[in-house]
Chain A
Amino acid sequence: MNEQHTNVAPLAQHENTKLAIWLFLGGEVVFFVSLILVFVFSRLTISNYEAQFRSLLSIPIIAANTFVLVTSSYFVVRGLEAINIKDDRKGLQTNLIIVMVLGLLFLGGQAFEWITLFNEGMTLKSSFGTPFFTVTGIHGTHVFIGILWLIYLLVSHKRRPFTRDNNRRVENFGLYWHFVDIVWIVLFTVIYLV
């Protein structure tokens, strides 16, 4: 009877944390959809949006920043592959450090954009500034949390290295990081390109 019960279990015990991460990401979808919608509606009410605000946004710089975040996602899977396939602990560490540097570079790019916009006269309370800084700020906070998570993983890896059979925490971090990447892919289109 017990054996039968084990056989029908849909997920292994170690998949539980992954399930929790996906549940969390499902909730994050709802959260970001609401933020994006508020941004879209706010933008639609601005009569001279193109002349007032669109001209202030530097698409080439943000496109480069988008490329940085997409590249960081690639290095996350490279790191996971290094530990999963080759049990390459040094490879995992190197790739995670690259991800951290790229994450910091992304935040630096965003800080540069914000400073430029403030210098151009945009304020937090303006009709475009409020939704813009809210959405990009909350996304940036997610990137920052990801970097803190990454630092924690690197310290853990130094103390007790992840192995081929014990790397679930890295995979869970990867899911979060890729999700943050997806959110930016959507924000890049909605805020800067359309």
Chain B
Amino acid sequence: METKKRPNYLFVFIALAVFTLIETLVSYIQQEAIKFPTLAIISVTKAILVLLYFMHLKLDSKIFSYLFIAGCVLSIPLILVIMVVMPQII
């Protein structure tokens, strides 16, 4: 991690706190068409903020990002298998 380009952690933390508040309020909205995509976008944004700034993927060697992405990619066949198998089990 390069200390010269260190991010403003307080700003990231405030953004995470505000997003948590917003998604909590959004959860009370009854319209699923608005609620679901909004919550999904906020959740993914929060996760990316933590990954890029708190876990320093933005500054660190790309190999760490590739390892994490590999985990996500490997999940895809798992998702497909579970989608096929689970309806038969339940």
Contacts and interface: CB of A to CB of B under 8 A. Distances in A.
A48 interface: no
A138 interface: no
A57 to B, nearest CB: 10
A42 B46 CA distance: 26
Chain B at the A interface: SS class: helix
Interface string B1-19: 1010010011011001100
B54 A26 contact: no
B13 A41 contact: no
A60 B78 contact: no
Interface range for B? 35 or more
- SS class of chain A's interface: helix, strand, loop or mixed? helix
A181 B50 contact: yes
A192 interface: yes
Interface in B53-90: 53-55, 61, 63-64, 67-68, 70-72, 74-75, 78-79, 82-83, 86-87, 90
Interface stretch (A74-82, A142-150, A152-160): A74-82
A: contact size bracket: 35 or more
Given A26-B71, A182-B51, A189-B40, A41 B87 contact: yes
A181 to B, nearest CB: 6
Contacts of B1: 84, 171
A94 B46 CA distance: 26
Interface of B: 1, 3, 6, 9-10, 12-13, 16-17, 20-21, 23-24, 26-27, 35-36, 39-40, 42-43, 46-47, 50-51, 53-55, 61, 63-64, 67-68, 70-72, 74-75, 78-79, 82-83, 86-87, 90
Interface of A: 10-11, 15, 18-19, 22-23, 25-30, 33-34, 37-38, 41-42, 45, 59-60, 63, 66-67, 70-71, 73-74, 76-78, 81, 84-85, 171, 174-175, 178-179, 181-182, 185-186, 188-189, 192-194
20 contacts: A11-B63, A22-B64, A26-B70, A41-B86, A59-B24, A59-B27, A66-B20, A70-B16, A70-B20, A71-B17, A74-B12, A74-B13, A74-B54, A178-B51, A178-B54, A181-B50, A182-B50, A185-B47, A189-B39, A193-B24
